[in-house]
Amino acid sequence: MPESFRRAFLTGATGYVGGRLGPRLLEAGWRVRCLARSGKKLSSRSWTSDARVERVECDIQDVKDLAEAMRGCEVAYYLIHSMAAVGRDYARHDRDLALAFARAAKLAGVNRIIYLGGLGEMGDALSEHLSSRREVEACLMSTAVSVTVLRAAMIIGSGSASYEILRYLSERLPVMITPRWVTTQCQPIAIRDVLRYLVECANVAPTTGMTLDIGGPDILTYRELIQLMARTLGLRPRIIVPVPLLTPRLSSLWIHLVTPLSYRVARPLADGLKNRVVCRNNRAAELMPGPLLSAAQAIERAAGKSRAFEVETAWSDAGVMPGDPDWAGGKVFIDRRCVAVQAAPEIVFQAVCKLGGGHGYYSGNWLWRIRGWLDWCLGGPGLRRARRDPLHLAYGDALDFWRVTGFDPPRRLQLRAQMKLPGEALLEFQIEPAQPSPDAASSWPPIACTLVQTARFRPRGLAGLLYWYAVRLLHEYVFRGLLAGIRREAQHAQSSVPPVPP
């Protein structure tokens, strides 16, 4: 079959690795069929508009439907990990998904499955997180379909969870009381090199059926990585004091408090830090030779991308996209406000899309920060996730303790709260063009609009009712100021646009 017609099946296309692998496969001459939980979230990735990309939505546990979706594909990339989405029961869920995927691949006639797993010394001491990765490998190998496993340790790249953990630890803690795992060795690898291996192994026949360890040229302790990050960021050397008293549970709470990761994700990761994660051999580099970035180069490259706001994908992009809640059947509190804005809808929408992150919330920022701090203390994301890009949003993006669940420029932006709440909350902005007035030709801008801001809250139990009534007065101040701030920003931006002559 001509290379230009070879088709790859890609899972995790809206995640950190899969979102970067898709365009690299296109560059390598593949057609790409993407499976996503949310087709709308997938369509927000610019590369998916390529004519060689197909989008499919189906339940990955439905073997028959999944097999139909995979039919005609030569290779299938399995980049699914449900730890962030499912929580403590992720290992069982991952086993079920991998078994269904393997059976579907066999029914569809797929030649090979390629899986990105985790490095780690074998034995009973392997953490639950890394043991789960091994179980997924076994499940994928449970049929006659050949499987290639690439095992990686820490992946360093702009927006990666590993990079963000290192950055936050280095920036926020000049003195660290750490668990003993800071002396554990690891072999980090740059995301660029991971992607090269994933693409090349599909074309290198000897990798078929093999399990390959992939890593960069450096073997370092986590202490050395933290100091390397500090040097890259122009910080003084960090003072690191390892103590034997911090259990995985305490370590994960500590990671949760200092970094953007939630406790539920931090716990299995912290448990895995006790395992030495170093390549056992150099077989991958021998079969797929090429330059590898050092740890210092990978960190510098990631830092440069972050400073330039060129983060292609971020760890927070991954995860289940909840649909709009079904508000019927329960009490829903609604706070709706509207204001006329003398600006074009496109400019108003741009002002709305600046919310959060470093820009803030136009009004009452100190209250938003307090709410974020409280959420952080309760185990939620708080304000630490910030946003992928300071100006642009897309469907599925994380925005502080919100997730973008509605994105229809320049008319509508919907945010769903992911903070710890006794209920479900939405914040929606709709921009409605105003009816032109008789003297519109003599005014500027000729098209004004109405900005409608709607907050909805469906309480859960008595705690939810008490919460809503407790924050009503704060909402009066915060939401009124937010609406006024967006109008002020939009009208200021409109005033700098020269009028179009009649």
Predicted confidence at residue 30, as pLDDT, reads 95
* Whether residue 161 is found in the same domain as residue 68: yes
* Whether residue 257 is found in the same domain as residue 360: no
What's the structural domain count of the chain? 2
* Whether residue 183 is found in the same domain as residue 215: yes
* Whether residue 288 is found in the same domain as residue 364: no
Element (H, E) at 20: helix 18-27
* Whether residue 406 is found in the same domain as residue 462: yes
Instruction: Give a yes or no: residue 423 inside a domain.
Output: yes
Predicted confidence at residue 270, as pLDDT, reads 64
* Whether residue 206 is found in the same domain as residue 338: no
Look at residues 316, 340, 368 and tell me which one is the last residue of a structural domain: 316
Predicted confidence at residue 438, as pLDDT, reads 52
* Whether residue 232 is found in the same domain as residue 158: yes
Asked whether the whole model's pTM tops 0.75, one would answer no
| Secondary structure (DSSP) of 291-350 | ----HHHHHHHHHHHHHTT--S--GGG-S--PPPP--TTS--EEEEEEEEESS-HHHHHH
> How buried is 206 (Cβ within 10 angstroms: 0-12 exposed, 13-18 middle, 19+ buried)?
exposed
* Whether residue 185 is found in the same domain as residue 333: no
Instruction: Give a yes or no: residue 351 inside a domain.
Output: yes
CATH code of the domain in which 422 resides: 3.30.530.20
Name the one residue in this structure whose structure tokens are 């539920």.
264
Phi-psi group of 6: left, alpha or beta (phi > 0 → left; psi -120 to 50 → alpha; rest → beta): beta
Domain residues for the domain of 109 are: 3-316
Look at residues 273, 300, 316 and tell me which one is the last residue of a structural domain: 316
Instruction: Give a yes or no: residue 501 inside a domain.
Output: no
* Whether residue 307 is found in the same domain as residue 331: no
Phi-psi group of 495: left, alpha or beta (phi > 0 → left; psi -120 to 50 → alpha; rest → beta): alpha
Predicted confidence at residue 265, as pLDDT, reads 62
Tens-binned pLDDT, residue by residue, of the chain (502 aa): 444 569 999 998 888 899 999 999 999 999 999 997 666 778 778 898 899 999 998 888 889 999 999 999 999 999 987 654 444 566 788 899 999 999 999 999 999 999 999 886 655 556 666 777 889 999 999 999 999 999 998 899 998 888 888 888 888 788 887 777 788 889 999 999 999 999 999 999 999 999 999 999 999 998 999 999 999 988 899 898 887 766 666 666 666 666 666 666 666 666 666 778 899 999 999 999 999 999 999 999 999 888 777 888 887 666 544 433 333 334 678 899 999 999 999 999 999 999 988 788 888 888 888 888 888 888 788 877 778 888 888 888 888 889 999 999 999 999 999 888 888 899 999 998 876 555 544 455 555 899 999 999 988 766 777 888 888 888 888 999 999 999 999 999 998 877 655 5
Predicted confidence at residue 298, as pLDDT, reads 96
Look at residues 268, 300, 316 and tell me which one is the last residue of a structural domain: 316
Instruction: Give a yes or no: residue 464 inside a domain.
Output: yes
Instruction: Give a yes or no: residue 502 inside a domain.
Output: no
* Whether residue 340 is found in the same domain as residue 202: no
Predicted confidence at residue 181, as pLDDT, reads 74
* Whether residue 157 is found in the same domain as residue 300: yes
Of 390, 303, 354, 387, the closest CA to residue 493 belongs to: 354
Distance between CA atoms of residues 487 and 491, nearest Å: 6
Predicted confidence at residue 2, as pLDDT, reads 46
Residue 309 CB contacts under 8 Å (≥ 6 apart), including other chains? 389, 390
Instruction: Copy the structure tokens of residue 98.
Output: 């991998």
Instruction: Give a yes or no: residue 98 inside a domain.
Output: yes
CATH code of the domain in which 225 resides: 3.40.50.720
Predicted confidence at residue 183, as pLDDT, reads 84
* Whether residue 187 is found in the same domain as residue 41: yes
Residue 10 CB contacts under 8 Å (≥ 6 apart), including other chains? 18, 21, 22, 25, 32, 33, 34, 35, 76, 77, 79
Predicted confidence at residue 326, as pLDDT, reads 34
Distance between CA atoms of residues 268 and 375, nearest Å: 21
Instruction: Give a yes or no: residue 60 inside a domain.
Output: yes
Instruction: Give a yes or no: residue 335 inside a domain.
Output: yes
- Residue 46 gets which letter from DSSP? G
